[in-house]
Amino acid sequence: MKNKSITSSHSALIRGLIAIIIGGLATFIPGLTLEGIIFFAGLCILIGGLVSLIFALREKSQGAKNILIFQTVFNLIVGILFIAFPTKIVEVFVIILGIGLLLIGAFQLVIGLSVRGRYGFSWFYFVVSIIVIIAGIIMLNNPFKGAEAILIFLGILLMLYGISELYMAWHLRKELKTSEEADVVEPK
């Protein structure tokens, strides 16, 4: 039982520290963090392309070889784009998210207004629809800043999670010391 508590307190401590570090980077230097994430994703895609190339060279079936070569070319192009243009890649994703938010908010607003006669008008539903539409407009207005705002929010959540893990590690460690002291006091 002792080893399980020690492992739990150590793993909670490690998870907490990692979450605080990553959350801090995301919160305090979001632009660099976004570009770093995209760059790392580009490297992973490039490595996937190289692995596909190796499999393509080993493949005996021409049909499978063609598919693997297509996958290799696709991965290499996408990976290079991610590495060469990380800011533009982030903007593209945020533009897609902004369009999605606009559409979701608009559909939600239309549905809310169309059923108000049957179910009554919900101010909450209306406000949420407007907030979603505004979020979409903000994302489309300045995609990179929108992505940074999302990353800052996620960074704050990660830091809060990290703090809760550190608290858990401290609590588990305190519990372990209490149980060790009880084992020393009680004769066996």
Give domain status of residue 187, yes or no: no
Give domain status of residue 94, yes or no: yes
Give domain status of residue 186, yes or no: no
Give domain status of residue 160, yes or no: yes
Q: What is the end-to-end Cα distance of the chain in Å, rounded? A: 16
Distance CA 141, CA 186 (A): 68
How many domains are there within the chain? 1
Q: What is the model's pTM?
A: 0.59
> Among the residues of the chain, which ranges form H helices?
2-28, 30-58, 62-84, 86-114, 116-119, 123-141, 143-185
What pLDDT shows up at residue 89?
87
In this structure, what is the dihedral angle of CA atoms 118, 121, 122, 125, given to the nearest 10 degrees?
Answer: 90
Confidence of residue 46 (pLDDT cuts 50, 70, 90): very high
What pLDDT shows up at residue 107?
87
CA 62 to chain CA centroid, Å, is 38
What pLDDT shows up at residue 1?
44
Distance CA 136, CA 142 (A): 10
pLDDT above 70: residue 108: yes
What is the mean predicted confidence (pLDDT) over 162-169? 89
Q: Could you list the residue range(s) of the whole structural domain that residue 17 is in?
A: 2-175
What pLDDT shows up at residue 120?
62
Give domain status of residue 63, yes or no: yes
Distance CA 129, CA 102 (A): 9
pLDDT above 60: residue 5: no
